[in-house]
Amino acid sequence: MNFWQVVSRFILKQRIFILIVLAAITVFLGSKIKHIQFSHTEANLLPRDHEENIKYDHFLEIFGEEGNMIIIAVQDSTLFEVDNFNKWNEFSHHLDTFPEVDFSISIGDIQKLKKDKKNQKFFVEPLFENEPTTDQEVLDIRDELFKNLPFFDNILFNKKTGTVQTAIYLDKAIVNTKKRERFVFEVLNPSIKAFEKETGLDVRVSGMPFIRTMNAQNIIDEIGIFVGLALFITSLIFWLFFRSYRATFITMTVVSIGVVWALGFIGWFQYEISVLMALIPPLIIVIGVPNAIFLINKYQQEVKKHGNQAKSLQRVISKIGNATLMTNITTASGFATFIFTNSQLLNEFGIIASINILVIFILSLLIIPIIYSFMHKPKDKHLEHLERKWIDAIVNWMENTVRHHRIGIYISTVCIIVVSIIGVYMIRVSGSLIEDMPKGKQFYKDILFFEQEFGGIMPLEILIDTKRKKGVMNLATLKRMNKLDEEIDEIPELSKSISILNMVKYSKQAFYNGNPKYYQLPTEQEKNFILAYTKNSDATSDQLNNFVDSTGQYARITTFMKDIGTDKMESIELRIKEKIEQVFPSERFDVSLTGKALVFLKGTNYLVKNLVISLSLAIFLISLFMAWMFRSYKMIIISLIPNILPLLITAGLMGYLGVPIKPSTVLVFSIAFGISVDDTIHFLAKYRQELIAHKWNVRKSVYAALRETGVSMFYTSIVLFFGFLVFTVSSFGGTIALGGLVSVTLLFAMVSNLLLLPSLLLSLESKIANKKTFKKPAISIIPKEDEDSYKE
């Protein structure tokens, strides 16, 4: 009695006990779902000890969280009508009253810098003392703002388009917590809707805290949609194949329990739900259904063969258990390679996915036979699908093509390879913080609005270390910063920068009685007078704290980036670094580029390189696994060709369709390879069995294996194709690309395994059709009694 026979007897004899244990585990894991947390920050794709993370952490130590600003804006000439103008200022002040807000800056808060000649210091006075009562007063305020206060240009207004904005700075302590979400959904959004209803103005909202909150909510909303659609599509396809409500119900019960377990593991491990982690539940459904197809199909075949239900159930476990375990291990291996990427995001995704793929196999193997053991034997109508003529027609076509058109298959393969390689050279690498965000959502449209009006919303920081206390306020340092500032202004993908320079220039303007033409750095002769005024003034000290640290050693220059990819970012980074090297001698200054956006873009490049390694590792591991199973290096080569070809086709399609390489699309290859190899294992396992039966006659063995496994391979591939296609309904670009590309890859893999693999076996029969090449496998994929019966 072999291992699987022991397992099958244990499962059927201890079925009540097993169900109780499974129910207890399901309840336990179900209770952990409440601990699931949703990500409050952007995914950090870099290892914690990476140079870019170290630079960013150093910046945060000096200046604190830089992504804490929410901006609201209005582009409407009626804003400068007295009622709307006053309501806008009231609205801004209303938001400032909430504890989540550190401070806010709007037109109503503007303080003009004035010179106190007598006390040789600056003081501030409001832009307007009293609330305006006429439209003309508002227009006078607008003219004063647009013409005489360049300090606030691109901070609170765009004088070219008349757009006005308010900056809301959240308390840095709540930026990466759930309190941020509550503020956005319970305070900000309702307040904006009420203001829009009252005034008729269209308010635009953006800023990294707002974008992250809305994006996270979108992920939460889509989990339910994905799970529902995956269940519906896979159950529909399953029913169309089997025409059995109870088989469909049993399958959906198994995968639903699998979803509960998957969510339970996420909560138990205290992982956050990210865009990737949200794919796990529907992924378990899509991968779990093929397990059910193999098990139920085999059960019904056995029932039809001899009519003994108990014997059929025992044989399902003993005959299908090993092969299905092997295929699930290879699928899990494809996901497990993400664990080695050094990216926390992918590491967690790989752990949860690989564990739950093996879990769904165990659940299928236990629950399906046990539930059938309590039911009546399938009726003849439930077995009719085993003799469908259209399936026979498909199998006959495949056999005929392999038998008579192998040259055509090879020519087509070569042509496809050449065309695909050309497409591969057209692929570009992309890494954008917002590229995969839902383009139909209002918050995405608002991002584009702020890019157009104010140059972007993703902060890029330049940290300047003068290596000495109070070194920032040295005029020579300020002049160096000004040269760098001028370079930034010339880069169209970046906004106007904000730094201590703005304050110093504004101080000179105030020194010359507010004349805007003096909004510039002081000369050597002027600096002592102006900086003396600055040092004596409380009015400028608060502003200085935002851009210079308390010691005066460190300064920051903040600019905002548009939605650009990694290629453009690299050229911009190179340009800025070249300017830094020119104006800041390395022996006297340490200058570094950092910020969330830059860390993300660097992370994308890092991840793409690591995922290429991950794919290579997946191929290597699965090759080793197959070598251990079949103990033939020739068979490894033959089996890898039809599985690598679909990856090449998909890569070529990405080039032709303009789909870039990015974290979401590089995942496709490891996932698809791990799944597509399953068909190869089933086919080669059956092929070896047939070789023994037909005394190493390759032709008979190939055709017999094709006829036997072709139906199941076709069924499972169709389920996988439509199952992954569910992801294309997502509003996230990366998820759409992932779903579409995996579906296409698996479709090509099915065709490749059903046509190219048997063709290669036939063409190389003299090389492989002998006992020396096809040694007895290290693990019995097909039960020993089956092979022994063939030998007889």
Instruction: Give 704's pLDDT tier (boundaries 50, 70, 90).
Output: confident
For residue 553, what pLDDT band results from cuts at 50, 70 and 90? very high
E strand or H helix at 717, and its extent? helix 698-725
Domain spans, the chain: 14-41+214-236+247-375+615-791, 48-66+457-602, 68-206
Convert the pLDDT of each residue in 377-388 to its tens digit: 776 665 666 666
Per-residue confidence (pLDDT) for residue 540, from 0 to 100: 47
pLDDT band, residue 22 (cuts 50/70/90):
very high
* pLDDT of the residue at 166: 92
Q: What are the phi and psi torsion angles at 101 (to 5°)? A: -95, 125
Q: What span, in angstroms and rounded, lies between the C-alpha atoms of 458 and 210?
A: 12
pTM of structure: 0.77
Is pLDDT of 216 > 90? no
Q: Is the pLDDT at 13 greater than 50, yes or no?
A: yes
For 561, residues 6+ apart whose C-beta sits below 8 A from its C-beta are 456, 458, 459, 460, 493, 494, 495, 569, 597
Can you tell me the mean pLDDT for 303-324?
Answer: 79
Q: Strand pairing of 272-273 and 163-170?
A: unpaired
Contact in structure between 638 and 656 (CB atoms under 8 Å): no
- The CATH class given to the 68-206 domain equals alpha beta
Instruction: Say yes or no to pLDDT of 789 above 50.
Output: no
Q: What is the average pLDDT across 277-286?
A: 87
pLDDT at res. 769: 54
Q: How many helices (H) and strands (E) does the chain have?
A: 30, 12
Q: Give the integer Cα–Cα distance in Å for 53 and 56.
A: 5
Token pair recorded at residue 161: 């388009």
Average pLDDT, the chain: 84
**pLDDT for 124:** 83
Q: Percent of the chain having pLDDT more than 90? A: 26
pLDDT, tens digit (0-9, with 9 covering 90-100), for 484-519: 999 999 998 888 888 989 888 988 898 888 899 999
pLDDT(1) > 80:
no
Weakest mean pLDDT among 116-125, 199-208, 741-750:
116-125
In this predicted structure, the answer to whether residue 776 has a pLDDT above a threshold of 60 is no
Q: Are 578 and 591 within 8 A, CB to CB? A: no
Confidence band for 775, pLDDT divided at 50, 70 and 90: low
pLDDT of residue 416: 93
Orientation angle between helical segments 51-63 and 596-630, nearest 10 degrees: 150
Residue 577: the pLDDT is: 92
**pLDDT band (50, 70, 90) for residue 790:** very low
Q: Give the pLDDT band (50/70/90) at residue 89.
A: very high
Cβ–Cβ < 8 Å for 745, 652: no
Q: Among 296-300, 397-401, 488-492, 653-657, where is mean pLDDT lowest?
A: 296-300
3 state SS of 661: strand
Q: Say if residue 93 is exposed, middle or buried (CB neighbours under 10 Å; 0-12, 13-18, 19+).
A: middle
Task: For residue range 562-603, list pLDDT tens digits in order.
Answer: 877 777 888 888 999 999 999 999 899 999 999 877 887 787
Lowest average pLDDT, out of 173-187, 210-224, 745-759, goes to 210-224
Whole-number pLDDT of residue 550: 84
Supply the pLDDT for residue 598. Answer: 82
pLDDT at 788: 44
Q: Which of 68-77, 103-112, 464-473, 672-681 has the lowest mean pLDDT?
A: 672-681
pLDDT bin (cut points 50, 70, 90) of residue 179 is confident
Residue 647 has pLDDT above 80, yes or no: yes
Distances (CA, A) of 167 to 170, 187, 451, 562: 10, 16, 15, 18
**pLDDT band (50, 70, 90) for residue 630:** low
Residue 767's pLDDT is 63
pLDDT at 239 over 90: no
Lowest mean pLDDT among 194-203, 543-552, 775-784: 775-784
CA distance 176 to 212: 10
pLDDT of residue 791: 43
Q: Which of 104-113, 543-552, 726-735, 743-752 has the lowest mean pLDDT?
A: 543-552
Q: For the domain with range 14-41+214-236+247-375+615-791, which CATH number is right: 1.20.1640.10, 1.10.8.60, 3.30.1300.10, 3.90.105.10?
A: 1.20.1640.10
| Dist. CA 286–CA 530, nearest whole Å | 69
Q: Which residues contact 87 (CB under 8 A, 6 or more apart)?
A: 195, 198, 199
